[in-house]
Copies of this chain bind each other. A is one copy, B any other.
């Protein structure tokens, strides 16, 4: 059992920003939403892998949209809960738990807000083990979990309910409504049984956020390097996750657009002590890093994170600014995310990139 408190809240949201790999929106938003619930005395129960009983029936909840929009038009807990209730009405069955669809960004905190509002516990597992920009980019699709019904809702409680022929089509249709709802909407989809959760989700990712956030804070307190601390921690996890610093530099240029419901752009970094340059491209999240316009250093689904050079604080793509000094860190994705079927869902080609996946540790 993991317990969220006012004391460990900041560690948690820092960890979600790390796993957000640039996407998922400003962690400050998620922190404020959860702080409010905790101050009201609400309890948030988090169920870990070996506590998942066979009768668990959980719904994924999330906010869809461009992180650049999230900071002005923040995700809405009550409408998200309403979306979950709409799914219940359609399938004629009550949920007894909530799933985060992704482990990074505001979507890692929103399910906990819905938990506080509803009293339903949250499963410590998700479909991405990080953040990805699109609905179909979940390990649930390595198994055969049905995304339907997909409920999208806005602040007016207007709903759009989709029954799509597959999750990619669900993403395609729902994204258009998301844009028309103002670039953000709340959603509920992928209703899942205990068996489906056990077989297709990535487990322990809420715990991982707490740990990463805490390790960064501890390193700061101990005046050691927070980035090194995270890489060491990941290497000792089970299974071990390989990590390395790809680049240290300052932001030399930044192209960022909010387009078709995504934040898309390119981050250009210059080394502080050589002529090296790094390009990191993003669609909400960082998708690949390329050195001197020729050598790929890391790519999806491996995690690429931008951290403040001094404090190790994760920086989201909507928070990038010219002149910032940052470290780009990469961490290998969980093994379940590297199968052929998984790479079809969220490998480089799923992002429209013209190269195949090479694991981080082989580069």
Q: Which residues in A have some Cβ–Cβ distance to B below 8 Å?
A: 156-165, 169, 172-173, 175-177, 179-181
Among B165, B175, B180, which residue has its beta carbon within 8 angstroms of that of A173?
B180
Interface CB pairs A-B, < 8 A, 9: A158-B163, A158-B164, A159-B163, A160-B162, A160-B173, A161-B161, A173-B181, A176-B179, A177-B177
Copies of this chain, count: 2
Provide the main secondary structure of the chain A interface.
mixed
When the two chains form their complex, are residues A173 and B164 in contact, meaning their CB atoms are under 8 A apart? no
Q: How far is the CB of A176 from chain B (nearest CB, A)?
A: 4
Q: How far is the CB of A41 from chain B (nearest CB, A)?
A: 33
Known contacts A180-B173, A180-B176; A161 and B158 CB within 8 A of each other:
no
Given contacts A158-B163, A160-B160, 18 further A-B pairs with CB under 8 A are A156-B165, A156-B169, A157-B165, A158-B162, A158-B164, A158-B165, A158-B169, A158-B173, A159-B162, A160-B161, A161-B161, A161-B162, A173-B177, A173-B180, A173-B181, A176-B177, A176-B179, A177-B177
Closest to A179 in B: B176
Tell me the complex Cα distance, A281–B284, Å.
Answer: 40
Closest CB pairs A-B (n = 8): A176-B176, A161-B161, A176-B180, A159-B163, A156-B165, A160-B162, A158-B164, A173-B180
Contacts of A173 in B (CB 8 A): 158, 160, 177, 180-181
